Amino acid sequence: MLDLINVSYDTQIPNNVGLSSDKKVLKALEKWHPGYIDWWNQLIPNRYQQSEVYLRTAVSVDPKGWAKFDYVKMPEYRWGVLLAPQVEGRTIPCGEHAGEPAWQDVPGEYRNLMKRLIVIQGDTEPASVEQQKALALTAPSLYDMRNLFQVNVEEGRHLWAMVYLLHKYFGRDGREEADDLLRRQSGSEEAPRMLGAFNEETPDWLSFFMFTYFTDRDGKMQLESLAQSGFDPLSRTCRFMLTEEAHHMFVGETGVGRTIQRTCEVMKENGIEDPFDVDRIRGLGVIDLPLIQKKLNLHYTLSLDLFGQEVSTNAANAFNAGIKGRYQENRLTDDHQLQNDTYKVWDIVDGKIVQHDVPALTAINMRLRDDYTKDAAGGVGRWNKIIEKMGIDFELKLPHEAFHRKIGVFADKLIDPDGKFISGAEYDKGMVEWLPSHADGDYIQSLMKPEYEPGKYARWIAPPKVGIDNKPGDFEYVKLAMA
Ligand code: BYC
Ligand code: FE
Ligand code: FE
């Protein structure tokens, strides 16, 4: 009998979907595989490809124990196709088909819509690895380098997850889309990645931590909503991806937290009470809290743009078709069709930011964004606890959603982080305080010196409280190959 929990290694591509007896798809994936390996090998500097990295690899989809930790050279990582177990009798959770049996194949009428969502999801995964490709060169510790690579190999696996669906369910179109996922490049002029935030740079480690906190969390929310899809293979794929995703956000939250911790410690040691005494704080080689706020503003607002327009017929269609649900759709207690419901969205009327009710179906993006903002606020609260515990008078805040936006009703409007309309002059002047400037970027770059000795950490960041896989403080998370 087919084992649908444990990974099978009887083909080149580890999987729990019975690939060895699905010759056509296996062949298509084997054809795609070399291009993927090329992409990977060209991306990350060779020295790190040759290094032994202490990574977790998914070996099953059993929630009680799905991963195994061991030293692996990244090009030999076993990227696999893993779907969460099929739920017996699962039904379509929302929209006009709510309650009907979940689809095991793509309904013809929804083929294009479904493909588009899978392609967008697939496009972000390799994009993030491209954005992070140079960071190992300046890793603040081997622990952090290992976490970077863990995130990278798993984003690679998430690409595989979407490519499997394209090959299995979308025939020739799917194969072409899968090829294009390796053709587009983050930041490229000719063939950029599809969504804005995935063409931005991740120039330093504080950006990396903010990205994994805020942008991987958009990933979480989008995967949550695709996990509610009536198309069962998509739902099962996303459910397993979410298992991995938790670690990415952990890396972000603890990374920012450790940066804050170190800054506060150094301020204390040197008797600095004023968090805005930026020159002195920078003179001591740590990142001032106001700059951490600026980075937060940047990454949060870039991530908000990933939710699309507040009012969207695309989103209404996807929900109504049962292709994409709301966050935790299966736990909500309304009729799951939303034909008569309304939802509050932001708008600008007569130069004022207001909220008004619109048909809930059209506000699916806004609702997911609201759920995201609530989710994202949790970690900000925990960061503030660190600052408070150190007795420093400073509070990090999520800026108003209208600030610094490129998508939706607030796109390109002159609005400050408190949500107030301001003049162009005020905006230009304020930007230096609200978003990282060139000088801020240069300062952070000056701190980005690698620390490759086991158990040691760059000055600007505190060590983690516990190691990965309960390893001791001086554990050699990466056995570096010769430079
Ligand atoms: N950039 O009706 P609207 C992750 C376009 S992250 C550029 O609001 P919709 C990860 C839009 O395409 C999660 N264009 O669109 C994280 C549309 O174009 P058309 C990724 C944008 O469809 C870290 C038009 O504007 N997954 O996994 O309701 C590391 C009208 O907009 C943008 C997904 O996003 C933008 N930001 O909403 C690794 C899930 N926003 O059709 C990985 C799949 C909108 O008029 N995607 N446009 O030509 C979706 O569900 C939706 O497509 C979106 C957009 C939420 C993205
Ligand atoms: Fe991902
Ligand atoms: Fe992720």
User: Cβ(213) to ligand 1 under 6 A?
Assistant: no
What is the number of the ligand closest to the CA of 364?
A: 1
Residue whose Cα lies nearest atom 26 of ligand 1: it is 121
**Distance from C-alpha of 198 to C-alpha of 178, rounded to nearest angstrom:** 18
Number of the ligand 1 atom closest to the C-alpha atom of 324: 50
The helix-helix angle for 111-131 and 216-227 (nearest 10°) equals: 160
- 363 CB-contact burial (10 Å; exposed 0-12 / middle 13-18 / buried 19+): buried
- Cβ density class 23-42: b for 16+ within 10 Å, e for less: eebbebbeebeeebeebbee
Q: 274 CA distance to ligand 3 centroid (A)?
A: 36
The atom of ligand 1 lying closest to the CA of 305 is: 36
Instruction: Report pLDDT digits (tens) over 314-365.
Output: 999 999 999 999 999 999 999 999 999 999 999 999 999 999 999 999 999 9
Q: What is 376-396 written as a DSSP string? A: HHHHHHHHHHHHHHTT-----
* Residue 368: strand, helix, or coil: helix
Ligand 1 pocket: which of 202, 209, 245, 306 to mutate (most atoms within 8 A of CB): 306
Q: How many CB atoms lie within 10 A of CB 180?
A: 15
**pLDDT value, residue 127:** 98
Q: Is the CB of 323 under 6 A from ligand 1?
A: no
Q: Is 334 inside any structural domain?
A: yes
Residue 294 has, within 13 A of its CA and on its CB side, a CA count of 19
**Residue to probe by mutation, ligand 1, list 112, 118, 120, most atoms within 8 Å of CB:** 120
In terms of C-beta density within 10 A (0-12 exposed, 13-18 middle, 19 or more buried), how is residue 345 classed? buried
| Phi, psi values for residue 335, rounded to 5° | -80, 0
* In the block, residue with structure tokens 């991995």: 244
The answer, yes or no, to whether any atom of ligand 1 lies below 6 A from the CB of 200, is no
Smallest-distance ligand from the CA of 158: 2
What is the model's pLDDT at position 65? Answer: 84
Distance (Å, rounded) from C-alpha 14 to C-alpha 37?
Answer: 15
CATH at 339: 1.10.620.20
Q: Is 306 in the pocket of ligand 1 (CB under 6 A)?
A: yes
Domain assignment of residue 394, yes or no: yes
Q: Tell me the CA–centroid distance for residue 255 and ligand 3, in Å.
A: 15
Which ligand 1 atom is at minimum distance from the Cα of 306?
A: 36
Q: What is the reported pTM?
A: 0.97
Which of 159, 216, 309, 372 is the pocket-test mutation for ligand 1 (most atoms within 8 Å of CB)?
309
**11 domain residue, yes or no:** no
Domain holding 84, by residue range, is 19-479
Confirm whether 5 is domain-assigned: no
Cβ(409)–Cβ(310) under 8 Å? yes
478-479 and 352-359 strand pairing: unpaired
Ligand 1: nearest atom to the Cα of 196: 1
- Contact indicator for 106, 170 with CB cutoff of 8 Å: yes
Which of 359, 340, 360, 344 has its CA nearest to residue 409?
344
CA 69 distance to own-chain centroid? 22
Run of H or E including 346: strand 342-349
Sorted by sequence, the CB contacts under 8 Å of residue 8 that are 6+ apart come out as: 14, 15, 16, 18, 19, 20
Overall residue count recorded for the chain in this entry: 483
Hey, what long-range contacts does 262-269 have (CB within 8 A, 24 or more apart)? 262/286, 262/459, 262/460, 262/461, 262/462, 263/287, 263/288, 263/289, 263/292, 263/460, 264/289, 264/386, 264/387, 264/390, 264/392, 265/390, 265/462, 267/390, 267/392, 268/390, 268/391, 268/392
Q: How far is the CA of 219 from the centre of ligand 3 (A)?
A: 6
* The pLDDT of residue 2: 61
Cα angle 332, 299, 178; round to 5: 75
Task: Indicate the average pLDDT of the chain.
Answer: 96
- Give φ, ψ of 310 to 5 degrees: -60, -45
Residue 365 domain flag: yes
Mutation test of ligand 1: which of 151, 194, 195 has the most ligand atoms closer than 8 Å to its C-beta? 195
Domain count, the chain: 1
Ligand 1: centre distance to CA 19 (Å): 31
In a domain, 12, yes or no: no
How far is ligand 3, taken at its centre, from the CA of residue 129, in Å? 10
For atom 15 of ligand 1, the residue with the nearest CA is 308
Instruction: List the chain residues with pLDDT less than 70.
Output: 1-2
Shortest-distance Cα residue to atom 27 of ligand 1? 219
Q: How far is the CA of 268 from the centre of ligand 3 (A)?
A: 35
Residue type at 29 in one-letter notation: L
SS3 221: helix
Structure tokens at 225: 């909503």
Which residues are CB-neighbours of 421 under 8 A, at least 6 positions away?
Answer: 351, 352, 353, 413, 414, 415
